[in-house]
Amino acid sequence: MCGIIAVLRRPSDRPIPGLTGLEADLGLARGHLESARALLESPGGALEASAEVRLAAAHIGAVDQSLRGVPGALALLVDPIAAASLESMASSLRKNIEALEAILDAGFVDADHLEELNEALVEVKDAQWAVSNDRIKTARSIAGLLNGLDPATNHGAVAAMHSVQVALSAIDRLEVRGRDSAGLQLFVSNPAIDLTAPDVLSLVAQRADDRLYRGGAVGIVDGALVFVYKAAAEIGELGDNVAALRRSISEDALLHLAIMGKSAQIAVLGHTRWASVGIISEANAHPLNSIEAGSADSSVVGPYVAAALNGDVDNFRELIEQNSLSIPSEITTDAKVIPALVSRAISASETSLSSDSDLSGSLVAAFAKTVASFEGSMAIAAHSGADPNQLLLALRGSGQALYIGLADDSYVVASEPYGVVEEASQYVRLDGETPSDLDNPEASRGQIVVLDAALAGSLAGIRRFSYDGSVIEVGAEDLARAEVTTRDIDRGAFPHFLLKEISESPASFRKTLRAKLIERDGVLVVDVGRDALPDSIREKLSSGALRRVLVIGQGTAAVAGQSLAAALADLAGSQLVVEALPATELSG
């Protein structure tokens, strides 16, 4: 498994939010949390306390929304004193939340209202986490990438580095899918430097002769600058590759010069790899570009294209031979054929899949024609100098996935929902299996998507086609809301997620038993509560109307489910059939 990440942004027209007003919102949130505490300490106040907690979550959530995107980052970066004050207040809200949880642990809340209160606490914890660990952390990371550039006078650079930080943060999470190498391509349109100036040409020339497209490579493409950053290591820890990429980007003086102007726009294409085809090396790290070994021959050079792949192009060797592709011997990954063939298809003006194709534009049609020639299960993201304002996606087969997050003035594309949720709470999922034409299922199976930077962050900027070229309309019904947050998937200071899960299991076990294991007449009894186990279910269990129970879970939760199933079976006797299943068997 591998992980694709891409960020396509448009200039934001949203004003920079004032931090004073946001701090006032956090103050209101604190007031609601203090009211909730007082209610919980009083008999019968759990229901009203839940309402107060939800009001606090709404205020903190409003702050989170305001601090998203480039305007939010600028607000935190241009006024560091006010930002420090807001950070301190946001952090202090954790103590208010912990005080409420302590009351729950002490057993002062009856089981009937526990689940509602727990849901409200999850909302407020997610909101507080987003402000402290997503928004403020993003601004701090952008400052590190700027490496001394003044954000107050370099708004364009802040916007560019915001996209870079979003991509790096996503790769950090996607590394669980594979981490032997990682790469980023930054395509800077309208760079803030004169590309004909001798000193600039000298800087570019030092890095422009790498035909293997390794870390540090730079290219000039139709007046734009292309920067490449890669890291590869057979042995390493989670986070090593991202740290190496971050260091290279923050130290790149040429990149900083290129993004200083207001007109500069950046498109980011990235990947974290688990090598399946080709050795572990920077030359094989994705993204790969379209430049062939025989690039001096204009007949094999077309518009610049870069691409990243999840899955395998099973017929890549045949495609190399059939098209006489000139691939450097050091590049042995199958992904190289993608940009090379798309570039050639544009040059050859092979721009339609069929006479009645709804695809338009040589780049889009060339991409569609190319991916239709591939065999295997795969997800592809591609970007081209032929139209830097477009990002091209393709998905076919059951083994891969792509999600388009609708973020603040931007699209964030990733292989998993947890790659987009830091910036986008809603996303569109590509479907690589369902045919759009049941009369022609094989040709219409799979989807191609074109994203338009001018409409970034909206459904209007998403065009979707089946592999046969038919239009598949995109509407509000295609939007899914993320059910996971960055708080759920944070690894913290643990080197591995397994160690984190083991270390947190005592606290998780304690929270599971909150208000459910109580003392009555000197005896401990279990009281699940009616919001978790309604009277209607209790009656069906008692009467025998409910005869089968499925206990589902995933990972260690599935193991816990097996023990629960055994315990329930013993208690219920032979009348109730209790079965444990992995959650995956009931998904989809």
Residues of the chain with pLDDT under 50: 296-300, 350-357
Half-sphere exposure of 405 (CA within 13 A, CB side): 28
Report DSSP letters for 411-474, one per residue: EEEESSGGGTTTT-SEEEE--SSS-S-TTSHHHH-SEEEEEEGGGTTSGGGEEEEETTS-B---
pLDDT at 587: 62
Picking from 143, 158, 180, the residue at the C-terminal end of a domain is: 143
568 part of a folded domain: yes
The residues facing 431 across adjacent strands are none
- The pTM for the full model equals 0.88
* Residue 130, domain CATH: 1.20.120
241: left (phi over 0), alpha (psi -120 to 50) or beta: alpha
345 part of a folded domain: no
Specify the 3-state DSSP secondary structure of 279.
Answer: coil
441 part of a folded domain: no
> What is the distance between the alpha carbons of residues 292 and 289, in angstroms, rounded to a whole number?
8
**With the CA atoms of 428, 432, 437 and 438 taken in that order, what torsion angle do they form, in degrees rounded to the nearest 10?**
-120
Count of structural domains within the chain: 2
What are the Cα distances from residue 408, in Å, to 70, 466, 478, 527?
8, 27, 18, 45
Picking from 91, 117, 143, the residue at the C-terminal end of a domain is: 143
Convert the pLDDT of each residue in 535-548 to its tens digit: 898 888 888 888 88
Name the residue among 451, 448, 452 with its Cα closest to residue 436.
Answer: 448
Picking from 143, 163, 191, the residue at the C-terminal end of a domain is: 143
3 part of a folded domain: no
28 part of a folded domain: yes
pLDDT at 583: 80
567 part of a folded domain: yes
> What is the distance between the alpha carbons of residues 96 and 55, in angstroms, rounded to a whole number?
14
Range of the domain at 102: 14-143
121 part of a folded domain: yes
494: tokens are 């643990």
486 part of a folded domain: no
pLDDT at 359: 57
Is 428 in contact with 480 (CB distance < 8 Å)? Answer: yes
